[in-house]
Amino acid sequence: MKDTDSTLAQFDQAGAERLEKIYLTPDVVQQREQIFQLLDVKPGMHALDIGCGPGLTSLSLAQAVGNSGHVDAIDIAPPMLQLAARRCADAKQVAFHQADVLQLPFADATFDVALATQVYEYVADIDDALSELWRVMKPGAQVLLVDTDWESCVWACRDEARMRRIMQGWSQHIPHPQLPRTLIQRMQGAGFADVQAHTIPLMNMNYSTDTFSGGMMGFIASFVGGLPDFGPQLAADWQADVQTMKDAGGYFFSLNRFVFVARKP
Ligand SMILES: C[S@@+](CC[C@H](N)C(=O)[O-])C[C@H]1O[C@@H](n2cnc3c(N)ncnc32)[C@H](O)[C@@H]1O
């Protein structure tokens, strides 16, 4: 299966709505606010939201650039673009486009600022995608990329061997499950300068469906349960094990998001 086919399968209507719900939990809302503080976006700017998903970052960009600015938001998955367009219906300064990060439908040197949160890890040809990003940015423009290293995931359970197996299955949902550790060099290779790196942890000390980990559990179980050699029973047993940790010594989840901020010279 091609990577874009796998992405489109993960973000069908149900997948897109499930992700939107997770991204509206208080811990992810707080994480998004922390990330936004690292962005140098001002009224009147022309901003790009790459892989906009349900449009949460597109709306924040629209508010930051104001009526005198403009936001172009792209995504490959039509269900995501529908959610995003609905969310930003009152923000006339935002335009949505169905496009691949490898072929951005914009002229050279168009944007003052660009944001891609949790997108490049889905893209096999990451170096070509970064060159394409470089092309559409103005000289002096700022880019901010967020990706996850799934090996930074700490999740308390009883059966550690099963947890490792589930995480090994989950790592197949994207071509670059450890992208952050090579992203600085890749960004520099594409021509970006002054790359600054930050870590933002997501931590849940209680089990609730209204948290990042509580929501992701179902996402992970349905992906891994559908893989050959894994199956729904293994995924369900893992889910039950992790959920019951709240009664057996304490629920504990932590995962690092890595944020990279750079400029086009
Ligand atoms: C995990 S979601 C993140 C959504 C959004 N950036 C956010 O943080 O709320 C990843 C998004 O990247 C999009 N995506 C993945 N590969 C893409 C590609 N090659 N071109 C454009 N969008 C892509 C997916 O469709 C999905 O909406």
111-163 confidence digits (pLDDT tens): 999 999 999 999 999 999 999 999 999 999 999 999 999 999 999 999 999 99
Q: What is the dihedral of CA 50, 54, 56, 59, to 10 degrees?
A: 80
* Ligand 1 nearest atom to the CA of residue 116, by list position: 6
In single-letter form, the type of residue at position 125 comes to D
H-type helices in 38-113, by residue range?
56-65, 78-87
Of 101, 6, 16, 2, the residue nearest 55 (C-alpha): 16
209-221 confidence digits (pLDDT tens): 999 999 999 989 9
Give ∠ CA 57-62-63 in degrees, rounded to 5.
100
* Cβ < 6 A, ligand 1 pocket: 4, 7, 11, 19, 23, 51-53, 56-57, 74-77, 80, 100-101, 117-119, 122-123
**Which residue has its alpha carbon closest to ligand 1 atom 9?**
53
Structure token digits, residue 65: 């650039």
Helices then strands, counting H and E runs in the chain, come out as 10, 8
Residue to substitute in 6, 104, 122 for testing ligand 1 pocket (most ligand atoms within 8 angstroms of CB): 122
Q: What is the dihedral of CA 203, 205, 208, 210, to 10 degrees?
A: -30
Q: What are the mean pLDDT values of the chain's consecutive 10-residue runs (265 residues total)?
A: 81 92 95 96 98 98 98 97 98 98 98 98 97 98 97 95 97 95 98 97 92 94 93 95 86 97 98
Question: Do 140 and 264 meet the contact criterion of CB atoms below 8 Å apart?
Answer: yes
Domain at 3-149+175-203+254-263: CATH code: 3.40.50.150
Give ∠ CA 180-229-125 in degrees, rounded to 5.
30
| Euclidean distance between CA atoms 142 and 137, whole angstroms | 8
